[in-house]
């Protein structure tokens, strides 16, 4: 007891001794930490191997949203599980190049885990898993905030988590441990190089032995069978097109010679032109061609378990019954509209590109590409795109320029007033008038109009949204699923009304017209092949309409064959790729047919362009945004101090610019915009006013004229509003 009191007294009365004791404890902790670090460094390769296996389990649990699913993957696809682990293990060897190995381990581990978490989040909203090209779609994703697809609260959570991780890594970079032994940098470099060689050899061996797939015909299934780490790594390494082994000038010339001979004879697998095309001696003008992408569209009757209170798509069904129609094999499911679109417009097969690649975001960023638009332009067509979504989404404005389109009317140039019940997407009825405007813009030409709908887009709410739905749905396994299907089916029902109204509008025009309508992919609803009457989740449907007597000739096609078949029925043989399809009998499983298509695609996009004799035959167009012009007529000060600007063709995306600076603007109508009183107070005599339709920093269209602001109102009456 006395000793204890002495110790307490001594501690309080002798701070120097306490300091020595604290220093000793810190030294002991440091030595213990160093011993532990030395132990981990000595057996680091073993720990890396264990960490890699653990990370694969975590990543697969996120992807499959089930720990048992991840364990089942490890048990039933053991080689794939170990191969995924090997990829992570190889990436961890990079830590030996640095002294702060703990920091590098955490950085590399965090990257893999974040990718796995992102993939899990992506798969909760779509069927297609996360790939490298999706990084190029981040700007598109951010433009979709506050929708059912991606909420602002989710964006905030992501930013917070990434910020916390960044702060932690910065602290670790300054305060974390350093490797204290001999660095052996040459040995570390050699080890990393050896791992790269091992990974390359192992990948080739595994693919040659068919233990791991070199190509995923079904990306979702490929990721499921072979793991996220391998699938994502494939999307990083495998981009663009590989040069075909037999690619040469002579090869391309032989293909073109065969096509020319077949075209000369007007050879056709289905029917000769005379069986299809109704001659009209009084009108030699080529028919208008309206191609309509129906977002996430399908006939609900194609789903085995679904029951509806009435037919939700009577107009589409009528077209299918009376005009050329069939199944359409598309390259994506649940998402990836731009890739189906790419195949339809170019006639190119996406299979020859890298895993999960979006050509709009890769090769088309810098390279022009022959398309149906450039081919029809060659024979005098006006070519237009109409879409009630953003002009920069999927980099479409750039892609359509590379394709050679004349004009593109995006949502920024439309006076959109009606939206789906969730407010997520515009309704499609506005596209009827916008399609008609595109046709009217070139009265002396035949036109190709590519119209893209959006109303059927997901996500579809599991809660009851429609209190009195026009179509009632049952048959799904849960009430939540029935709610989703009911919402989807009623939106598709509205799209079907759009189809009927579109053909009614076109039938009243005194012009020969062909309409081609197709679904871009099945909806994101977890459908399996067993659920589908077609037995294939990559099959949608297409239907056509015409007003000049073309005979019904049904055929099941791929997306890249669709417009070749439609134009062939109309007697139009134009374009490098399209005439190749028209003269090659559409045999998708024919090796020679696919080899020729691969060579032509490579030649046009990546090769020497032997098919054009080395020339840039189809340069990018100077794409005009919209087919209508806008003007400012006058401005007027209001009693509340604000400023009204009057003109024409304004939209919700119109903004008043003062001296080329965008100002916050209130949309009143297509003829009136208002600048707030706060901004008006900052105006000075001589400021230049104009109106632009914009998306972010991109200005799509500006008024043809501008006006100079003066504090006193300009002379002249305001237009009626």
pLDDT at 450 over 80: yes
What percentage of the chain has pLDDT greater than the value 70? 85
pLDDT tens for 627-658 read 999 999 999 999 999 999 999 999 999 999 99
Residue 695: beta bridge partners? Answer: 698
Q: What is the pLDDT of residues 247-288, one digit of tens each?
A: 999 999 999 998 888 777 664 444 444 444 444 434 568 999
518 vs 103 pLDDT, higher one: 518
d(CA 439, CA 437): 5
> Would you state the structure tokens that stand for residue 332, as one six-digit string?
């994506």
Residue where the block lists tokens 């450039």: 374
Tell me what percent of the residues of the chain surpass a pLDDT of 90.
Answer: 60
Q: Please list, in sequence order, all residues whose beta carbon lies within 8 angstroms of the beta carbon of residue 280, skipping any fewer than 6 positions away.
A: 512, 548
More confident residue, 44 or 16: 44
Candidate from 6-20, 70-84, 134-148, 417-431 with smallest mean pLDDT: 6-20
Three-state SS at 170: helix
Q: Tell me what pLDDT residue 103 has.
A: 82
578 vs 181, which has greater pLDDT? 578
Whole-number average pLDDT of the chain: 86
Which SS3 state, helix, strand or coil, does residue 234 take?
Answer: helix
Sorting pLDDT into bands at 50, 70 and 90, what band is 685? Answer: very high
559 DSSP 8-state letter: G
Confidence of residue 311 (pLDDT cuts 50, 70, 90): very high
Yes or no: say if 436 and 627 are a contact pair by the CB < 8 Å rule. Answer: no
Distance of alpha carbon 316 from alpha carbon 454, whole angstroms = 17
The full DSSP string for 280-349 is -TT--PPPEEEEEEETT---GGGBTT-EESS-S-HHHHHHHHHSSEEEEE-S-SSS-HHHHHHHHHH---
Of the candidates 671, 721, 717, 719, the residue with the CA atom closest to the CA atom of residue 691: 671
How far apart are alpha carbons 625 and 174 in whole angstroms? 51
Q: What is the pLDDT of residues 666-684, one digit of tens each?
A: 999 999 999 999 999 999 9
- Sort 8 into a burial class: Cβ within 10 Å, 0-12 / 13-18 / 19+: exposed
């Amino acid at each position: 007891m006395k000793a204890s009191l002495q110790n307490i007294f001594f501690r309080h009365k002798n701070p120097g001794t306490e300091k020595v004791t604290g220093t000793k404890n810190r030294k002991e902790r440091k030595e213990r930490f160093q011993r532990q670090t030395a132990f981990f460094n000595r057996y680091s390769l073993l720990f890396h191997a264990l960490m890699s296996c653990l990370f694969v389990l975590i990543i697969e649990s996120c992807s499959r949203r089930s720990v048992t699913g991840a364990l089942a993957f490890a048990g039933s696809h053991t080689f794939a599980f170990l191969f995924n682990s090997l990829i992570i293990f190889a990436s961890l060897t990079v830590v030996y190049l640095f002294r702060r190995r703990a920091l590098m381990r955490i950085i590399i581990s965090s990257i893999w885990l974040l990718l796995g978490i992102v993939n899990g989040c992506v798969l909760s909203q779509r069927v297609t898993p996360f790939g490298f090209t999706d990084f190029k779609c981040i700007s598109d994703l951010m433009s979709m905030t506050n929708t059912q697809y991606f909420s602002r609260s989710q964006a905030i959570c992501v930013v917070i988590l990434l910020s916390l991780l960044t702060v932690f890594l910065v602290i670790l970079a300054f305060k974390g441990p350093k490797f204290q032994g001999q660095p052996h940098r040459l040995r570390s470099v050699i080890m990393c190089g050896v791992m790269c060689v091992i990974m390359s050899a192992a990948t080739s061996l595994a693919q040659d032995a068919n233990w791991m797939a070199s190509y995923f015909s079904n990306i979702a299934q490929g990721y499921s069978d072979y793991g996220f780490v391998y699938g994502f790594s494939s999307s990083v390494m495998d981009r663009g097109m590989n040069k075909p082994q037999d690619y040469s000038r002579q090869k391309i010339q032989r293909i073109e010679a065969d096509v020319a001979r077949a075209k000369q004879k007007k050879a056709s697998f289905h029917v000769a032109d005379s069986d299809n095309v109704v001659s009209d001696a009084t009108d030699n003008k080529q028919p208008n061609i309206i191609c309509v992408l129906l977002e996430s569209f399908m006939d609900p009757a194609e789903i085995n378990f679904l029951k509806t209170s009435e037919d939700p798509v009577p107009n589409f069904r009528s077209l299918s019954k009376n005009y050329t129609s069939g199944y359409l094999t598309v390259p994506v499911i649940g998402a990836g509209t731009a890739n189906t679109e790419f195949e339809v417009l170019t006639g190119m097969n996406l299979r020859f590109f890298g895993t999960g690649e979006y050509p709009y975001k890769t090769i088309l960023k810098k390279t022009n590409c022959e398309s149906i638009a450039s081919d029809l332009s060659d024979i005098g067509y006006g070519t237009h795109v109409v879409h009630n979504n953003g002009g920069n989404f999927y980099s479409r404005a750039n892609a359509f320029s590379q394709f050679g389109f004349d004009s593109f009317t995006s949502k920024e140039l439309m006076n959109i007033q009606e939206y789906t019940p969730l407010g997520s997407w515009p309704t499609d009825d506005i596209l009827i008038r916008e399609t008609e405007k595109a046709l009217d813009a070139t009265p002396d030409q035949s036109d190709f109009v590519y119209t893209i709908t959006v109303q059927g887009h997901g996500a579809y709410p599991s809660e009851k949204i429609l209190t009195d739905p026009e179509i009632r749905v049952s048959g799904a396994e849960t009430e939540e699923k029935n709610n989703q299907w009911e919402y989807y089916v009623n939106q598709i029902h509205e799209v079907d009304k759009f189809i009927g109204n579109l053909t009614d509008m076109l039938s009243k025009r005194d012009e020969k017209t062909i309409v081609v309508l197709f679904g871009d992919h099945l909806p994101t609803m977890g459908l399996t092949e067993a659920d589908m009457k077609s037995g294939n989740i990559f099959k949608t449907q297409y239907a056509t309409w015409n007003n000049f007597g073309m005979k019904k000739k049904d055929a099941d096609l791929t997306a890249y064959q669709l417009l070749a078949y439609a134009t062939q029925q109309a007697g139009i043989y134009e374009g490098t790729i399209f005439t190749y399809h028209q003269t090659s009998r559409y045999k998708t499983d024919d090796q020679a047919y696919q080899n020729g298509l691969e060579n032509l695609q490579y030649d046009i996009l990546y090769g020497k362009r032997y098919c054009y004799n080395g020339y840039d035959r189809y340069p990018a167009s100077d794409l005009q945004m919209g087919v209508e012009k806008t003007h400012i007529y006058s401005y007027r000060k209001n009693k509340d101090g604000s400023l009204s600007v009057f003109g024409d063709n304004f939209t919700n995306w119109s903004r008043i610019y003062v001296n080329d600076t965008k100002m916050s603007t209130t949309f009143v109508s297509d003829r009136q915009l208002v600048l707030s009183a706060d901004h008006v107070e900052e105006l000075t005599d001589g400021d230049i006013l104009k109106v632009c339709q914009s998306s972010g920093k991109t200005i799509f269209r500006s008024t043809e004229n501008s006006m100079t602001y003066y504090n006193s109102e300009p002379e002249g009456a305001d237009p009626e509003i």
